[in-house]
């Protein structure tokens, strides 16, 4: 299995974190690959290159060949049979609203078929491409065209997100004071651009840091991680973690993950 990350051109980094490809081309056909998708503040686009076996959700139903999913505040799972080739884009938190011109709140915890958004031509171009590098070029041109109009997302919110000004310990009142906005305005900006509240965004930022620390061999004791992140007690830490993953921190540390992309993990074959 081979997963590769590609950096976007500088002028698109405000919206695109990276492009990625994942290929498993020599696997036994009877095997099933499982993906655990945890809560994630970064939306993504996924394109399934092959027309053979496709991704299935937890209800054993096929997901679209090409789809976007918004910010995820709850865990989910997928599986796929046999060899596959996938191409994807990891976006910054506010990017879907800007690029696809749709309210991100409609995409939170949802998978949306690109066909349903009116982008059949983009799917065709990605299908006709001969390599992942060509797909990157196609996506770059598409995003450039989508960004050629006036920005939808408030520039202050873009700065808050890109400068990580809403970290896990940020005082929301101080942030409102800095940008001379009310609590209600800050709430509205986040809801309109990302579909979630500032406090939910903060929780996702802390969860992202939790995953990073738990994957670090230096922090073998999950209680230490909870303390670092200023949880009031271990039970609160475990409850919060299970909300985003359906497992405990200790179970996460014991998993033998093969590969990961953002908060999506291949756990077993």
pLDDT in tens, 201-257: 999 999 999 999 999 988 888 889 999 998 989 999 999 999 999 999 999 999 878
Assess contact for 119 and 99: CB atoms under 8 A. Answer: no
> How far is 265 from 215, CA to CA, in rounded Å?
12
Question: Which pLDDT value is given to residue 9?
Answer: 97
Query: HEC string of 28-64?
Result: CCCCEEEEEECCECCCEEEEECCCCCCCEECCCCECC
> How far is 159 from 154, CA to CA, in rounded Å?
9
Question: Which pLDDT value is given to residue 1?
Answer: 77
Question: Which pLDDT value is given to residue 103?
Answer: 66
Assess contact for 79 and 180: CB atoms under 8 A. Answer: no
2 pLDDT band, cuts 50/70/90, is: confident
CATH no., domain 2-149: 2.60.120
In 3D space, the residue among 227, 206, 98 whose CA is nearest the CA of residue 151 turns out to be 98
**How large is the C-alpha radius of gyration of the chain?**
19
Q: pLDDT tens for residues 128-162?
A: 999 999 999 999 999 999 997 777 889 999 999 99
Lowest-confidence pick of 4-8, 23-27, 85-89, 263-267: 23-27
> How far is 148 from 130, CA to CA, in rounded Å?
27
Question: Which pLDDT value is given to residue 269?
Answer: 57
Mean pLDDT of 7-20: 97
The answer, yes or no, to whether residue 26 has pLDDT greater than 70, is no
168 pLDDT band, cuts 50/70/90, is: confident
Q: State the Cα torsion 163-165-169-174 to the nearest 10°.
A: 160
Q: pLDDT tens for residues 33-53?
A: 899 999 999 999 999 998 778
227: Cβ contacts below 8 Å, ≥ 6 apart: none
The answer, yes or no, to whether residue 104 has pLDDT greater than 70, is no
Enter the pTM of the model: 0.93
187 pLDDT band, cuts 50/70/90, is: very high
Lowest-confidence pick of 64-78, 97-111, 116-130: 97-111
Question: Which pLDDT value is given to residue 200?
Answer: 96
Question: Which pLDDT value is given to residue 152?
Answer: 82
Q: How large a percentage of the chain has pLDDT more than 90?
A: 75
106 pLDDT band, cuts 50/70/90, is: confident
The answer, yes or no, to whether residue 71 has pLDDT greater than 70, is yes
Question: Which pLDDT value is given to residue 201?
Answer: 96
């Amino acid at each position: 299995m081979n997963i590769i990350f590609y950096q976007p051109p500088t002028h698109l980094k405000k919206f695109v974190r990276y492009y990625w490809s994942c290929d498993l081309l020599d696997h036994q056909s009877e095997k099933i690959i499982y993906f655990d998708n945890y809560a994630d503040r970064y939306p993504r686009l996924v394109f399934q290159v092959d027309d053979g076996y496709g991704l299935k959700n937890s209800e054993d139903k096929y997901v679209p060949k090409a789809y976007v999913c918004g910010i995820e505040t709850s865990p989910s799972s997928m599986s796929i049979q046999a060899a596959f080739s996938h191409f994807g884009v990891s976006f910054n938190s506010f990017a879907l609203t800007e690029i696809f011109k749709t309210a991100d709140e409609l995409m939170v915890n949802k998978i949306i078929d690109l066909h349903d958004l009116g982008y059949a031509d983009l799917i065709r171009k990605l299908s006709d491409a001969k390599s992942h590098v060509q797909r990157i070029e196609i996506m770059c041109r598409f995003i450039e065209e989508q960004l050629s109009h006036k920005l939808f997302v408030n520039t202050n919110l873009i700065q808050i997100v890109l400068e990580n000004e809403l970290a896990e310990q940020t005082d929301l009142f101080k942030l409102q004071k800095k940008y001379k906005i009310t609590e209600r305005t800050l709430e509205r900006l986040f809801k309109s651009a990302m579909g979630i509240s500032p406090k939910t965004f903060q929780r996702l930022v802390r969860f992202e840091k939790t995953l990073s620390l738990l994957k670090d061999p230096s922090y073998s004791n999950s209680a230490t991680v909870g303390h670092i992140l200023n949880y009031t007690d271990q039970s609160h830490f475990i409850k919060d973690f299970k909300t985003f993953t359906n497992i405990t921190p200790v179970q996460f540390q014991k998993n033998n993950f093969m590969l990961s992309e953002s908060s999506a993990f291949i756990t077993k074959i």
